[in-house]
Amino acid sequence: MPDKELSLVEHLAELRKRIIYCLIPFVIAAAFSASFAKAILNFLRFPSNGLIKSLAFFSPQEIAVVYTKIAVFSGLSLTLPIIFYHLWRFISPALEEKHKESIFSFIFWASLAFFSGCLFGYFLLVPVSLKFLLSLGSDELTAVISISKYISFVLALILGSGVVFEIPVVIWLLTRLKIVNSGFLRRKRKFAIAGIFILSAIITPTTDPLSMCLLAVPMLVLYEISIWVARWNDPRPKPQSAGQIGASE
């Protein structure tokens, strides 16, 4: 049985506590990552090898802004399991008692899904998008790309891919909360497909159809996987006893 219902004030107080518990390790991790910002920058430049010879900066503070973005992204990635832990603790009162023990499964699969999405974005989405977009320029044009614009582009694709790969985990959580089920997801499939293409167009920082489709296709696959995840979590009908069968006859 779920825990007793909390008041709105109690919910807000619990939410505030969980946010503080997440912010403290995030700030520490971001500060720690700042000392490795230059090495992480070189790592993020790897997908542009052979496509962009050099990056430029156009203001004195631009490098500092870039390092701040990298530190924030790295801090978020490092503290993600802690964030998932406190997210679970916040919603656990609404779960049935037997499901509350799934906290470590949730943290593992949610973290795995996010980092898998980040790898997809880094190794596939970013290089393909860069190659396509830069090919649109003619031979008479020379690409002079700001390092701030490049990092924003790369981090948006990587972070967006990580978030998108959380779809099955979110559906698993919603089925545990009895908000959706597999039948609902199947009935709403056509609306989900339209929403997926709209969402992929919003997530990708460019307007080219290739980047949008590269993100939309795995989202469609993940949605189908989510239907099976929801079906696995659907409550099973209880078998009738002999007395019940006789009474129904």
Q: What is the pLDDT of residues 4-40, one digit of tens each?
A: 566 778 888 999 999 999 999 999 999 999 999 999 9
For the chain, the C-alpha Rg in angstroms (whole number) is 23
CA distance 135 to 138: 7
Q: How far apart are CA 62 and CA 43, in angstroms?
A: 19
pLDDT tens readout for residues 179-203: 888 889 999 999 999 999 998 888 8
Torsion, Cα 60 152 113 213, to 10 degrees, reads: -170
Position 7 scores a pLDDT of 73
Give the whole-angstrom CA distance, residue 143 versus residue 246. 80
Mean pLDDT throughout 197-219?
83
Q: Is the pLDDT of residue 2 over 60?
A: no
Residues above pLDDT 70, as percent of the chain: 88
Domain ranges of the chain: 8-234
What angle, rounded to 10 degrees, do the helices at 126-135 and 147-164 form? 130
**What confidence tier does 113 reach under pLDDT thresholds 50, 70, 90?**
very high
**Local structure of residue 146 (DSSP, 8 states):** B
Is the pTM higher than 0.95? no
SS3 percent helix, strand, coil of the chain, rounded to 5, is 75, 0, 20
Query: Does the pLDDT at position 3 exceed 60?
Result: no
Other Cβ atoms less than 10 A from the Cβ of 38: the count is 12
Give the burial class of 224: count Cβ atoms within 10 A of its Cβ; 0-12 exposed, 13-18 middle, 19 or more buried.
Answer: middle
| pLDDT exceeds 70 at position 1 | no
Dist. CA 208–CA 205, nearest whole Å: 9
**Which candidate, 121, 160, 116, 126, places its Cα nearest to that of 49?**
126
